[in-house]
Structure 1
Amino acid sequence: MGRLEYDDSAFAYFGLAVLTIFTVPFTLSFMKSLFSSSNASELNKKDFKPRTSTERLNIDKVKKSENVTSKFANCGTFLKAVVLCMLWFLIISMFFRTGGDANIQQFDPFEILGMDKGSTDAQIKRAFRKLSVKWHPDRWISGTAEEQAYAEMMFMKISKASDALTDPVAKENWIKYGNPDGKQPMELSIGLPNFLMLKENQNLVLVLYLIGLVVVIPSVVALYYSNSKQYSDKLILNESFQIYGYLLKNTPIKHIPEILALSAEFRKMPLRPEDEKILAKMKKMLIAQELIVKKPAHNTLNFFKRWPQHDKVNILIHAHMNRLAA
């Protein structure tokens, strides 16, 4: 009957496969974003000429931001690089950890005894006697514990090798099963670390398993479902669709930019005190040039009062549409 056990080497192979599947695409994506310069190249292709000093400064910022060194100054890019380095370190560590398994060789009695495959029984017996004298455990009593263990292992190997070539039953077993002891029981390994089987870790493993099963997995599923149901198949918030449907019925066409500014997506836009003067100046210029309605439509007032972000977006949309720079 097969034995089922936890095997650290199997875990190393499993971990190596999982990490590689995740890390390689992540690395390619990171390198692409790091060395691509789409924004700057588009500006160069179109031979874009700035009309104001503000536009010129913004273009210079875009071009500088496309520099690899500048990208690393970004906190998000730097953290991604650190995570990637850690992942590749783990992959390399696991690779070397599994490298020892490549040294596992099939049982070969001729190689163990240092004999050619055409050797006679007499030659095999002489080789066995010579090696058994060298590796007999009694000769290593005064040696270290490691030397004694190694000598015992070597003596067992040469004994099995001799039996496999001289004893009829052992020889038949070796020919049939590759082992002089006969058919070996099947061993099954699980790709999990061996410490999970330690008795002192059982309570901790059980608690972590319950937390993952009862708390983490349901929370992730609930969070995903909660977020996904907020969006339509066009990846637009359903609330935005409701706003459009409600306002477009009785709103003049000149207020369309206002309705767009009321999209629910804009409610997370930060309101910075340093932007207030610029926004006020822009709004004043838009009103002076009659590029924006002085007063929003009556059915949109509540939205502007409740979420100040909409007023900011409304000004920015009109300024962009009219190529206005503060």
Structure 2
Amino acid sequence: MAGQQFQYDDSGNTFFYFLTSFVGLIVIPATYYLWPRDQNAEQIRLKNIRKVYGRCMWYRLRLLKPQPNIIPTVKKIVLLAGWALFLFLTYKVSKTDREYQEYNPYEVLNLDPGATVAEIKKQYRLLSLKYHPDKGGDEVMFMRIAKAYAALTDEESRKNWEEFGNPDGPQATSFGIALPAWIVDQKNSILVLLVYGLAFMVILPVVVGSWWYRSIRYSGDQILIRTTQIYTYFVYKTRNMDMKRLIMVLAGASEFDPQYNKDATSRPTDNILIPQLIREIGSINLKKNEPPLTCPYSLKARVLLLSHLARMKIPETLEEDQQFMLKKCPALLQEMVNVICQLILMARSREEREFRAPTLASLENCMKLSQMAVQGLQQFKCNFTRR
């Protein structure tokens, strides 16, 4: 019985097949999940709103221009480099000679199996004249023709080919492995194990775990689940929310909390500047202790929104925070609308008397606040459009 042997890639040609597949499995999903989304989408949406609700909001839309961010650029560079490597490996694979393809001398000479010796010699002479190097032919093809002719004209070689499929007789079963030989070298075994352990036991679990942790924190509209829970609690608690109460609940979103959103900022100077703005604005209802509505981050967001509606001049150190807060407001107000609508539908589908649905006035005030935030105007000065 013939033995078995494993052939590793000493030349490095077939390793490109393995490497191309490996890079493709990384680059293609990474492009789908990590390619930066259109940064101008929010700006286009706001421009469409401006066309509907009038020109007056353009005064404040200038504050909503996206701030320069280097992270999307770095992601694009890394992904493009990965695709460049993938295309290069694909090109190398397409140019790699197939050294391990099945050898058939009849196919090389363009003959049918069982051809006579006379037919073999005649075909050999024709192909030799065509591919002879001295006559401008292909030297590699000529060598293959000569090898096939020798295999079919020698009686023993031809018999071995017909019985064993190999001119040299029975051979050991060979398995090709598209890995370089140095990977299985005993000298490099510890290094290879360390690399595999680091990749599959450390890096891969960390990447998957980080992605899963981030994904479960957000809803389908990319709003923090904690924010939705906060809105649901206070909307159910206060069935009829006036504009002041609505602004308080809006500012309680976890998107403004540095603990839950790394883009939110909290500076030591806020302890001085925010109280100054509170004195200029007037009463903002600080008596009730309702966390998180009375937390520092929520209080800061509320003051910045009220100063925006009053078109007050704020210190330069707070302008960036105000722009961040204003960019979040449309999506957060839409989430609040969704919460109110869901609670109303739940109340209609239940028969329990103790389940209280929010009033339609709360829904209307929420929609009004969205227009107020975009136009930068207070309630009685805002241009509301009814359809």
Q: Same fold (TM over 0.5)?
A: yes
1:65-76 pair list within 5 angstroms: 74-76=69-71
- Alignment equivalent of 2:298, drawn from 298, 301, 310: 310
Matching residue of 1:40: 44
**How many angstroms apart in 2 are the aligned matches of 1:106 and 1:113?**
15
Matching residue of 2:257: 267
Distance 1:278 1:214, change over 3 A: same
Q: Contact (CA 8 Å) 1:121, 1:166: kept in 2 or not?
A: no
Matching residue of 2:192: 205
1:145-164 pair list within 5 angstroms: 158=146, 161-164=148-151
Aligned-residue offset at 1:192: 4.1
Alignment partner of 2:175: what SS?
A: strand
Aligned-residue offset at 1:303: 6.3
Matching residue of 1:107: 103
Q: Contact (CA 8 Å) 2:227, 2:255: kept in 1 or not?
A: no
Aligned-residue offset at 1:161: 3.5
- Give the structure with the higher percent helix: 1
Distance 1:281 1:178, change over 3 A: farther
Q: Contact (CA 8 Å) 2:50, 2:58: kept in 1 or not?
A: no
**How many angstroms apart in 1 are the aligned matches of 2:229 and 2:49?**
37
1:97-176 pair list within 5 angstroms: 97-104=92-99, 106-107=102-103, 109=105, 120=118, 123=121, 158=146, 161-175=148-162
- Alignment equivalent of 1:77, drawn from 72, 75, 98: 72
Q: Contact (CA 8 Å) 1:244, 1:259: kept in 2 or not?
A: no
Alignment deviations for residues 93-141 of structure 1 (CA, whole Å, 9 cap, x no partner): 21233234445465354787999977628958x98xx9xxxxxxxxxxx
Aligned-residue offset at 1:19: 3.1
Equivalent residues, number: 288
Q: Contact (CA 8 Å) 1:251, 1:297: kept in 2 or not?
A: no
One-letter amino acid of the structure 2 residue matched with residue 294 of structure 1: N
**How many angstroms apart in 2 are the aligned matches of 1:243 and 1:187?**
67
**How many angstroms apart in 2 are the aligned matches of 1:201 and 1:176?**
42
Q: Contact (CA 8 Å) 2:19, 2:89: kept in 1 or not?
A: yes
Matching residue of 1:3: 5
Q: Contact (CA 8 Å) 1:257, 1:314: kept in 2 or not?
A: yes
**How many angstroms apart in 1 are the aligned matches of 2:63 and 2:178?**
53
Matching residue of 2:285: 294
Larger CA deviation: 273-282 vs 48-57: 273-282
Indicate yes or no: 2:97 matched with 1:93.
no
**How many angstroms apart in 1 are the aligned matches of 2:34 and 2:88?**
22
Alignment partner of 1:77: what SS?
A: helix
* Superposition RMSD in Å: 5.4
Aligned-residue offset at 1:270: 0.9
Unmatched tracts of structure 1, length 5 or more: 66-72, 131-149
Matching residue of 2:319: none
Distance 1:101 1:303, change over 3 A: same
One-letter amino acid of the structure 2 residue matched with residue 258 of structure 1: M
One-letter amino acid of the structure 1 residue matched with residue 17 of structure 2: Y
One-letter amino acid of the structure 2 residue matched with residue 310 of structure 1: S
Q: Contact (CA 8 Å) 1:54, 1:325: kept in 2 or not?
A: no
Alignment partner of 1:55: what SS?
A: helix
- Alignment equivalent of 1:55, drawn from 56, 60, 77: 60
Unmatched tracts of structure 2, length 5 or more: 129-138, 259-263, 310-328, 330-368, 379-387
Aligned-pair identity (%): 22
Aligned-residue offset at 1:285: 6.3
Q: Contact (CA 8 Å) 1:261, 1:314: kept in 2 or not?
A: yes
Distance 1:231 1:24, change over 3 A: closer
Larger CA deviation: 74-83 vs 242-251: 242-251
Alignment partner of 1:47: what SS?
A: helix
Alignment partner of 1:188: what SS?
A: strand
**How many angstroms apart in 1 are the aligned matches of 2:47 and 2:120?**
86
Distance 1:239 1:294, change over 3 A: closer
Aligned-residue offset at 1:187: 3.2
One-letter amino acid of the structure 2 residue matched with residue 99 of structure 1: S
**How many angstroms apart in 2 are the aligned matches of 1:95 and 1:103?**
14
Matching residue of 1:147: none
Aligned-residue offset at 1:241: 2.9
Alignment partner of 2:257: what SS?
A: helix
